[in-house]
Amino acid sequence: MAGSLAGRVALVTGSTSGIGLAIAARYAREGAKVMLNGFGKPDDIARARAEVGAAMGVAEAPYSPADMSKPAEIREMVQRCIAELGGCDILVDNAGIQHVSPIEDFPDEQWDRIIAINLVSNFHAIKAALPGMKAKGWGRIINVASAHGLVASPFKTAYVAAKHGVVGLTKSVALEVARTGVTCNAICPGFVRTPLAEAQVKPLAEKHGVSEEKALTDYLLERQPTKKWVEVEEIAEAAMFLVGPNSGSINGSALSVDGGWIAQ
């Protein structure tokens, strides 16, 4: 039986690991053709392409190495997706980086790169993909923001500014496309279990002289009321719902998947 996304084409940025890979694989299992994008070790990229490719019924999923800080490469990636896969019906802007530092010590180049990759890349990808979506009368744009797109934390000025910008961009685009058959929404995850996030637990435990379990619940997940990781599969299911058959009236929303973080 064909999946609910049969005949659809999805482009997911930052999809060689973590949240992006989970979303890409979920879409592929539902019948979509999916193009991956992201950096990483060659072996990790190969594994991601094989995983998503298997769900698509091919040896490996198409992949673009486009640098999300370079607008020309973003435009080329979208055009390649359209040319090779027949369109770009679903765009998931997931690529992102982080740097933590007091603002007076925050490196200028880190600010510029975080704003470029976490926010400006979304603008360029949407701008390139939207004409084709409008022409078809159907499209789904999902911007993966963060709980930090709705509330702030200290020492993350660039990330918080970028993710707040992503939520604002989402709302503005949603209003522009409201009568076109296209929707634009954001997902705002809390702390998600990924290898990079889990790697923060041991140093926190050593710093505070506590067990890793206590470091996780009392320090890393301090603001997350459940004291549990958000799993990548939970984000993927939210992303699946937003492209599903009953999602057309959800537009301009910032969907929190954060264990109650912003309810406080």
pLDDT at 24 > cutoff 90: yes
With beta carbons less than 8 A apart as the criterion, state whether 11 and 88 touch.
yes
Q: Which residues of 161-181 are buried (b: 16+ CB within 10 A; e: fewer)?
A: bbbbbbbebbbebbeebeeee
Rounded distance between C-alpha atoms, residue 195 and residue 199, angstroms: 6
With beta carbons less than 8 A apart as the criterion, state whether 126 and 91 touch.
yes
- 130-182 per-position pLDDT tens digit: 999 999 999 999 999 999 999 999 999 999 999 999 999 999 999 999 999 99
For 54, counting Cβ atoms within 10 Å of its Cβ (0-12 exposed, 13-18 middle, 19+ buried), the class is middle
CA 147 distance to own-chain centroid: 13
Residue tagged active-site, from 27, 63, 159, 219? 159
With beta carbons less than 8 A apart as the criterion, state whether 105 and 157 touch.
no
* Domains of the chain by residue range: 9-192+231-263, 193-229
User: ∠ CA(44), CA(197), CA(195), 5° rounding?
Assistant: 25
DSSP state of 125: H
Rounded distance between C-alpha atoms, residue 129 and residue 111, angstroms: 26
pLDDT band for 72, please (50, 70, 90 cuts). Answer: very high
Whole-number mean pLDDT of the chain? Answer: 97
pLDDT at 1 > cutoff 60: no
Instruction: For residue 159, indicate whether it is catalytic.
Output: yes
DSSP state of 254: E
Count of CA atoms in the C-beta half-sphere (13 A) of 175:
5
- 187-246 per-position pLDDT tens digit: 999 999 988 889 999 999 999 999 999 999 999 999 999 999 999 999 999 999 999 999
Over range 253-257, report the average pLDDT.
98
Over range 7-11, report the average pLDDT.
98
Rounded distance between C-alpha atoms, residue 213 and residue 198, angstroms: 11
Residues 6+ apart with CB under 8 A from 82: 88, 132
* pTM (predicted TM-score): 0.97
pLDDT band for 86, please (50, 70, 90 cuts). Answer: very high
With beta carbons less than 8 A apart as the criterion, state whether 19 and 27 touch.
no
Right CATH number for 9-192+231-263 from 3.40.50.300, 3.40.50.720, 3.90.45.10, 3.30.428.10? Answer: 3.40.50.720
**Strand ranges in the chain using DSSP code E only, listed in sequence order:** 9-12, 33-37, 63-64, 90-93, 139-144, 182-189, 254-257
> What pLDDT does residue 196 have?
80
- 88-144 per-position pLDDT tens digit: 999 999 999 999 999 999 999 999 999 999 999 999 999 999 999 999 999 999 999
3-state per-residue secondary structure call for 142-192 = EEECCHHHCCCCCCCHHHHHHHHHHHHHHHHHHHHCCCCCEEEEEEEECCE
With beta carbons less than 8 A apart as the criterion, state whether 91 and 77 touch.
no
